[in-house]
Amino acid sequence: MNKEAKAAVIRSFAVAVRAQLFVFAGMIVIFAAVYFLGRLPLGLFIYSAELAVFLFGVYLIIQFVSYKKRYEAIRNLRTAASLSGGEIADGADPADRLYVEKIESLLNELRELENLHADRQSDQLDYFTLWLHQIKTPISAISLLNQSSAAKEAKQISQELLRLEDYTHMALNYVKLEEGGGELELTEVDIDDAIKKAVKKYSILFIYKGIKLNYEPLGMRVLSDGKWLQNLIEQILSNSLKYTPTGSISICHDPQKPNSLIIEDTGIGIRSEDLPKIFNKGYSGLNGRLHEKSTGLGLFLSKKICERLGHQLDIQSEFGKGTRVAIDLSRKELEIFD
């Protein structure tokens, strides 16, 4: 125990026995008054006072040893689950033991409630995951029916279906990331293949909005998890399309960083005051509030995916001029989700 901890114990003990100290001091004063009024020898009073101080000192030492043991036991508790009633209540008076028993009883009730809540949450998560997988079937069926439709609303329906599919995949990714524990399948991934799949998926939005795509094959191959990297690229590209009413989106790599992937748009951009918070879960910023398109999960999930893959994500933006997303695909130490 360091000096600060020892001083803290002594101060705490002094507060705990201050009433006894006041009582003892009062008794000494009373004895002094009795000796003075009875005109008893001063030496006898001094001897009596010394004996009383000695005995009281021994009592305080015994009490301090017991108090220090209980104080350290409580201070060293890391979690409520490590509470040891027998150790803490050792040397305590009956009232203290009763307090400890009550605390242990409440902690047991709390653990039971936590277990019950965890079981319910697990059941809800299982149902939610199953529902997300099942809802993909009618979405695919509607998409096929829409492709064979000659209605003038077919293109608009296709866009809404794409948005619905995106939200479904986003929810599935959120569940998987929050659950954790999934193993990565690290392979050599062709970045151009992943980009082409993402562009093909969102081609209807490029055409409908008249967004120009600036892209030349990058010839990049990186060690990563192909599925999660595909999700990451699609999420970033989806965000760019969402907040780029007109103009262009460029996909390239930084010449100074060969393993970097850049997705840059000429959209509405992000305010400087919003930039520090864009990776916070549920934060949509001014753009999300104005356009009512943001769930506040897109960039949060993108950041989580990068952390899982061992990549780095950097976003630079100027409000009204566009956004530049840089994904550093070089190998970093992998982070395992809790």
Please state which of the ranges 57-66, 220-229, 325-334 shows the lowest mean pLDDT: 325-334
pLDDT-above-70 percentage for the chain: 83
Residue 214 has pLDDT above 90, yes or no: yes
- pTM, 2 dp: 0.60
Mean per-residue pLDDT over the chain, rounded: 81
Residue corresponding to tokens 């398109």: 293
Residue 87 has pLDDT above 60, yes or no: no
C-alpha count within 13 angstroms, C-beta hemisphere, residue 38: 11
Could you list the beta-strand ranges (E) of the chain: 186-190, 212-215, 221-225, 248-254, 257-265, 312-318, 322-328
CA distances to 21, 45, 50 from 34, rounded to whole Å, are 20, 9, 16
Residue 230 or residue 1, greater confidence: 230
pLDDT, residue 338, reads: 46
pLDDT, residue 330, reads: 83
pLDDT, residue 162, reads: 83
Residue 116 has pLDDT above 90, yes or no: no
